[in-house]
């Protein structure tokens, strides 16, 4: 019984050990530690680390701040490729097993070495080799070596901070191997570059170039000893290259304007190609502009443009008309020819110019006609039909003229091919500025100098004529535009009456009663322009009756008698007393009327007034005062007391 607890404890220990082994088998592998990271090739970094138990592979990561590159390797050392030259990277590593991957290791920095220089090699002479290259990022120096390709003989080695070297005293016709690499500020070398170059024969000399006729280039050279054939290369400055193969000493090529051609000639034999001799350049004449376009044509100026042409450093523009020559020179493909004659045809030529070849005198000319001359307005008049006639003077050929009158109340125009035109409908009481413009196919002239035009004042509206007295009429109207003064005229067969005033009404006297008048009004501006405004006729009132007398008719009646005035008229009689107003109207044709039931013993004001056709009773006729007494007689007594000059308003 005592041994049972110990057995139970052993069983528990065994179970815990098994669980520990199971859990341990499923955890991620350990984090590896980087021993070193270094670069021997400009696009890779090699990493060495301590092996992790249980790891089946490793994940290498390189970061430069912009990009992340990863690669999986089986064991140490491992290399990350696809990197940028001369760039600092941060390297980390993770171990990988069937259970997963570990955390990243502590980072280690490494920098890729410099890139290899890209070599250009040539043999400028039979005993030399020229080596050149572009600058290498982060490089401060270069090492270049030259040796025979077969490994025999000496080695030439030079260090330099330049980007070219020339090795001389070499053997002619020999193949050499050239190797070069760059180093950084720490003296660490970068990738190297290797090229082969052979030195062989002399280049042809006395090369002669001619262009005749234009568009045909002839290249000739001297004969080379031991030369079997020749190749001439012609390369234009736009990069296009052509060549010819010949056993002769001349080649012909097609050429174009505005190009610089670079020409080289090589001799060939069984040993190969001769070194590059002198490279010649030949510049053809600049091209001529052929799309000359006038963008602005005025009476004294022409602006023209064209597309830039090859080879032109300057443009010379000439405009010729008879003995007149106008020029302008500019580097831009545009020119403004000024101080030209209006309405004139010019022969315009644009010459292209280059410093090497001069002017291309074969450029064609173009004809451009300037815009017409500005007309000169001679006078402006107005005819009986209120039409405005404008006359001008001009020397243009085949021009159409447009006259414009512009003011605050609008714009009015007329056109003509002659020297005059008429325009109507201009509003009264307005100021206009009148200009004339000539137009041809070449364009429009500048406007003429403006001439002011003032239209007559506007006729007033709402004219009324009211009779104030038998011989005075008040004429009134509304104010018309621009008018400063007015002349009112009342005219009939027996004469006229008029007044001149700056107001909107006028009293006209010496009017004859019972006469038909014509009312006319003239509006006059401050400059004296007059508008004749005619209106309908006006009839003055019938004359006031004369000889007004009163007679007693019984105790309460009065007969009022008068002498009828000139012309037929109706009358109205009014008696004004303290005891009332009494009115009577006579029958047509009679010159008296009776008023009954009038109180006696009162003073009466008597007025006999003509009545107008409108029924309006005129009250400007004279009034008389009578006293009606009371007595025993049936006739009574009417005493005349005098006249009253006051008037009452018509009723």
pLDDT band at 641 (very low <50, low <70, confident <90, very high): low
Please give the Cα distance from 212 to 253 (Å, whole number): 11
Judged against a pLDDT cut of 50, whether residue 490 lies above it is answered with: yes
Under CATH, what is the fold of the domain 546-628? Answer: Immunoglobulin-like (2.60.40)
d(CA 300, CA 324): 13
Lowest mean pLDDT among 56-70, 201-215, 309-323, 429-443: 201-215
Domain 376-452 of CATH type 2.60.40.10: yes
Segment 275-294 shows an average pLDDT of: 88
Q: How confident is the model at residue 635 (pLDDT cuts 50, 70, 90)?
A: very low
pLDDT of residue 614: 72
Whole-number pLDDT of residue 162? 93
> ω into residue 221 within 30 of 0, thus cis?
no
Give the pLDDT confidence of 154-210 residue by residue, as tens digits: 888 999 999 999 988 887 667 789 999 999 998 899 999 999 887 676 778 888 998
Confidence at residue 449, expressed as pLDDT on a 0 to 100 scale: 93
The H or E element containing residue 20 is helix 3-25
Question: What CATH code is assigned to 464-540?
Answer: 2.60.40.10
Residue 10: predicted pLDDT: 61
Q: What is the DSSP letter of 606?
A: E
DSSP state of 615: S
Which two tokens mark 367?
A: 């004809």
Residue for token pair 């002349």: 487
Mean pLDDT computed over 46-62:
91
**pTM here?**
0.51
Domain at 208-284, CATH class: mainly beta
How confident is the model over 7-23, as a mean pLDDT? 54
pLDDT at 371 over 80: yes
What's the CATH architecture for 119-198? Answer: Sandwich (2.60)
pLDDT of residue 94: 94
CA 282 to chain centre: 45
pLDDT tens, 515-555? Answer: 888 888 898 988 888 888 877 787 777 888 888 888 888 77
The pLDDT of residue 25: 45
How confident is the model at residue 23, as a pLDDT? 43
Q: What is the mean pLDDT of the chain?
A: 85
pLDDT at 317: 93
Say how far apart CA 263 and CA 302 lie, in whole Å: 43
pLDDT value of position 468: 84
Distance (Å, whole) CA 530 – CA 537: 21
Domains 33-111 and 290-369 share a fold: yes
Q: Which fold has domain 290-369?
A: Immunoglobulin-like (2.60.40)
* Cis preceding linkage at 213, omega within 30: yes
What is the structure's pLDDT at 326?
93
Q: Is residue 418 predicted with pLDDT exceeding 90? A: yes
**pLDDT at residue 276 above 60?**
yes
Predicted pLDDT at 4:
56
Which of 218-222, 225-229, 538-542, 556-560 has the highest average model confidence (pLDDT)?
218-222
pLDDT band at residue 649, thresholds of 50, 70 and 90?
A: very low
According to the model, what pLDDT value does residue 645 have? 42
Q: Could you state, in order of their start, the residue ranges of all structural domains in the chain?
A: 33-111, 119-198, 208-284, 290-369, 376-452, 464-540, 546-628
Q: What is the DSSP letter of 587?
A: P
Euclidean distance between CA atoms 564 and 543, whole angstroms? 9
- The answer, yes or no, to whether residue 6 has pLDDT greater than 70, is no
pLDDT of residue 565: 73
pLDDT class of 325 with cuts at 50, 70, 90: very high
13 phi and psi, to 5 degrees? -60, -45
d(CA 573, CA 577): 13
| CATH architecture entry for 33-111 | Sandwich (2.60)
- 24 vs 553, residue with greater confidence: 553
Burial of 310 (0-12, 13-18, 19+ CB in 10 A): middle
Residue written as token pair 């107003």? 581
Kindly state the average pLDDT of the residues 240-259.
92
Give the DSSP letter of residue 617. B
* pLDDT at site 7: 58
What percent of the chain is modeled with pLDDT above 70? Answer: 90
Give the CA count within 13 Å in the CB-facing half-sphere of 354. 18
SS3 content of the chain, % helix, strand, coil (to 5): 5, 50, 45
Reported as a pLDDT band with limits 50, 70 and 90, residue 2 is very low
């Amino acid at each position: 019984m005592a041994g049972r607890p110990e057995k139970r404890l052993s069983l528990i220990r065994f179970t815990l050990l098994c669980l520990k082994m199971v859990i341990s088998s499923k955890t991620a592998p350990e984090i590896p530690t980087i021993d070193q990271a270094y670069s021997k090739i400009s696009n890779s970094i090699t990493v060495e680390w301590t092996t992790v138990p249980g790891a089946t592979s490793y994940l290498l990561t390189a970061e430069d701040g912009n990009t992340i590159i990863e690669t999986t390797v089986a064991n140490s050392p491992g290399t990350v490729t696809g990197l940028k030259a001369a760039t600092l990277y941060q390297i980390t590593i993770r171990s990988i097993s069937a259970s997963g991957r570990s955390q990243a290791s502590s980072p280690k920095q490494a920098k890729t070495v410099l890139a290899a220089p890209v070599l250009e090699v040539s043999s400028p002479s039979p005993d030399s080799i020229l080596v050149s290259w572009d600058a290498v990022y982060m490089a401060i120096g270069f090492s270049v070596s030259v040796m025979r390709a077969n490994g025999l003989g000496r080695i030439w080695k030079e260090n330099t901070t330049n980007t070219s070297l020339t090795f001389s005293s070499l053997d002619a016709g020999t193949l050499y191997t050239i190797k070069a690499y760059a180093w950084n500020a720490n003296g660490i070398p970068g990738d190297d570059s290797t090229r082969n170059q052979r030195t062989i024969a002399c280049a042809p000399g006395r090369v002669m170039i001619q262009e005749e006729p234009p568009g045909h280039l002839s290249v000739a050279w001297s004969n080379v000893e031991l030369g079997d054939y020749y190749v001439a290369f012609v390369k234009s400055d736009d990069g296009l290259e052509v060549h010819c193969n010949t056993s002769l000493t001349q080649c012909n090529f097609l050429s174009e304007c505005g190009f610089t051609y670079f020409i080289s000639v090589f001799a060939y034999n069984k040993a190969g190609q001769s070194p590059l001799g002198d490279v010649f350049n030949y510049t053809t004449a600049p091209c001529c502009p052929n799309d000359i376009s006038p963008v602005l044509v005025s009476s004294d100026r022409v602006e023209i443009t064209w597309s830039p042409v090859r080879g032109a450093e300057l443009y010379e523009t000439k405009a010729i008309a008879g003995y007149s020559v106008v020029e302008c020179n500019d580097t831009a493909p545009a020119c403004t020819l000024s101080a030209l004659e209006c309405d004139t045809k010019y022969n315009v030529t644009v010459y292209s110019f280059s410093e090497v070849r001069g002017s291309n005198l074969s450029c064609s000319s173009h004809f451009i006609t300037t815009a017409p001359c500005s007309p000169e307005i001679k006078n402006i008049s107005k005819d009986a039909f209120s039409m405005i006639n404008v006359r001008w003077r001009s020397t243009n050929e085949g021009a159409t003229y447009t006259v414009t009158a512009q003011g605050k109340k609008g714009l009015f125009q007329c056109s003509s091919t002659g020297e005059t035109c008429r325009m109507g409908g201009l509003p009264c009481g307005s100021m206009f500025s009148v200009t004339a413009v000539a137009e041809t196919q070449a364009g429009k002239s500048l406007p003429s100098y403006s001439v002011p035009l003032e239209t007559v004042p506007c006729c007033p509206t709402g004219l009324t004529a009211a009779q104030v007295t038998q011989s005075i009429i008040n004429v009134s109207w509304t104010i018309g535009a621009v008018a400063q003064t007015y002349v009112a005229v009342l005219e009939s067969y027996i004469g006229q009456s008029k007044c001149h005033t700056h107001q909107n009404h006028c009293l006209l006297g010496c009017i004859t009663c019972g006469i038909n008048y014509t009312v006319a009004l003239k509006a006059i501006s401050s400059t004296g322009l007059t508008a004749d405004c005619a209106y309908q006729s006006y009839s003055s009132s019938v004359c006031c009756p004369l000889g007004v007398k009163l007679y007693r008719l019984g105790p309460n009646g009065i007969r009022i008698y008068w002498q009828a005035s000139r012309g037929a008229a109706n009358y109205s009689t009014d008696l004004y007393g303290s005891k009332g107003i009494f009115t009577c109207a006579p029958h047509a044709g009679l010159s008296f009327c009776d008023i009954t039931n009038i109180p006696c013993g009162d003073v009466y004001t008597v007025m006999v007034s003509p009545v107008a056709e409108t029924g309006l009773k005129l009250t400007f006729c004279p009034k008389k005062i009578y006293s009606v007494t009371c007595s025993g007689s049936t006739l009574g007594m009417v005493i005349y007391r005098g006249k009253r000059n006051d008037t009452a308003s018509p009723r």
